Structure 1
Amino acid sequence: MPLRDRKRQAVRTEVIAVAVDLFLDHGYEAVTVDQIAAAAGLSSRSFFRYFANKEAVFTQLLDETGTGIAERLAGRPPHEEPWLALRRAFDDVIEMLDDDDEENRRSLRTMRLIYDTPALYGSHLWKQTQWNRLLADALTSRPAATPSAEQRLHAGALAAAAVACFEYARAEWVDCGGTRPVSELLDLAMGAVHPLPDA
């Protein structure tokens, strides 16, 4: 990545962190773009060079998460059973959520905020439909070949089911206050749809 793009990404990452902290402390609706910009050391005009609005702070975070899961899926062994490959693609995200540290507690609070804020939850669900396509595309490229219409449909159904299982597992994790690991909840959710083969 060119230096200019790396600098831009660093600023976006910093603004996201600042904005999420403000949302968690004061509530999403109470925080303005001007407050986010000031806390991040930017002018309001500069903020809009990176984000269309304050909601875009969350959608950017969700974009990065979905892209990362799809990249890990694409990197799984090409002949691994697809349902297992999908499960393993979530491992890095789950590891972050299951870590018993401040970042874990922040993630829990952030997910509660998303679930409790209709505007954010709507964006959250919309982004997950985009995850479905990303994961379906990654599935149809394992092994690399031109997929048939039936293979694309099959991959899309598997991807959508896996994303739905992840969402239900994460929602349960939030409801129980993080007392049960997301890894355990996702195994249960995905196992209810189809048995997970041994790794």
Structure 2
Amino acid sequence: MPDTSPMPIRERTRRLAQTELTSVAQDLFVAQGYDGTTVDQIAAAAGMSKRTFFRYFPSKDDLVIGKYDLFGDRMAEALDARPAEEPVWESLRRVFDITLDYVQDDHQRARNDAMEEIVRSTPQLYARYLEKMERIQQLLIGRVAARLDTRDDDPADPRPGAIVGAAFACMQAARHAWFASDRTEPFGSCLDAAMSTVSVGNAD
């Protein structure tokens, strides 16, 4: 079963610092390019020393990719917080609510789009991005398996992976549809429409 115990204060503080560093760095990357931004500049903009920066991220690459770890942890925690009796598909839909700010806020979306372009155009970053996306899905698959009472001795049960994979496919389809509509509809409505078209069988 997933660990649902409260997060230690030290870990919460660490995550807040990592989130702030990531935000500061992303603004610099957008303004002056990934290659044109140094760790010294990021640390200075965040009001810390270079040595302190390395306490939170081993490298500039890790800072870029580390946001996907933070995002995955947020999604896992959001799923843990959903009522146990709630259908899994509905829980995943509610978990995806944490993505709304990333696409509906103009500043956040512009920065996010710029960072995605940096990641996709930088081979070493893109390879690690794919690994992180796999990790995010694995975090959720384990939790969905527990909700479905998948036996520990039956790791071949395809349902958890199929359900999580379908949910992520719906999120991508909703994003494409939202952009195609020139963002005239709330992204949440596009997500509702995408996820309502999929039948997930015994996902309750």
Verify the 8 A CA contact 2:119 2:129 in the aligned structure 1: yes
* Residues 1:14 and 2:20 are matched in the alignment: yes
Aligned residues, how many? 195
Change in CA separation of 1:168 and 1:116 when aligned onto 2, cut-off 3 Å: farther
- Alignment gaps of 5+ in structure 1: none
* Residues 1:72 and 2:84 are matched in the alignment: no
Q: Report the TM-score when normalising by structure 1.
A: 0.76
Q: Secondary structure at the match of 1:141?
A: helix
* Structure 1 match to 2:63: 57
Distance 2:99 2:177 in 1: 16
Structure 1, 120-129 or 46-55: larger mean CA deviation? 120-129
* Structure 1 match to 2:187: 182
Change in CA separation of 1:115 and 1:191 when aligned onto 2, cut-off 3 Å: farther
**Residue from 131, 138, 144 that aligns with 2:136:** 131
* Structure 1 match to 2:4: none
**Post-superposition shift, 1:116?**
4.6
Q: Report the TM-score when normalising by structure 2.
A: 0.74
Change in CA separation of 1:189 and 1:27 when aligned onto 2, cut-off 3 Å: farther
**Post-superposition shift, 1:3?**
5.5
| RMSD of aligned residue pairs (Cα, Å) | 3.3
Verify the 8 A CA contact 2:21 2:42 in the aligned structure 1: yes
**Post-superposition shift, 1:6?**
4.7
Verify the 8 A CA contact 2:170 2:195 in the aligned structure 1: yes
* Structure 2 match to 1:41: 47
* Structure 2 match to 1:89: 95
- Alignment gaps of 5+ in structure 2: 1-6
Q: Percent identity?
A: 38
* Structure 2 match to 1:165: 170
Write out per-residue CA displacement over residues 99-130 of structure 1, whole angstroms, 9 at most, x where no aligned residue.
44544544444444444544444333221111
**Higher RCO structure (Cα 8 Å, ≥6 apart):** 2
Change in CA separation of 1:55 and 1:194 when aligned onto 2, cut-off 3 Å: farther
**Post-superposition shift, 1:152?**
4.3
Distance 1:158 1:189 in 2: 14
**Post-superposition shift, 1:34?**
2.3
**Post-superposition shift, 1:10?**
3.6
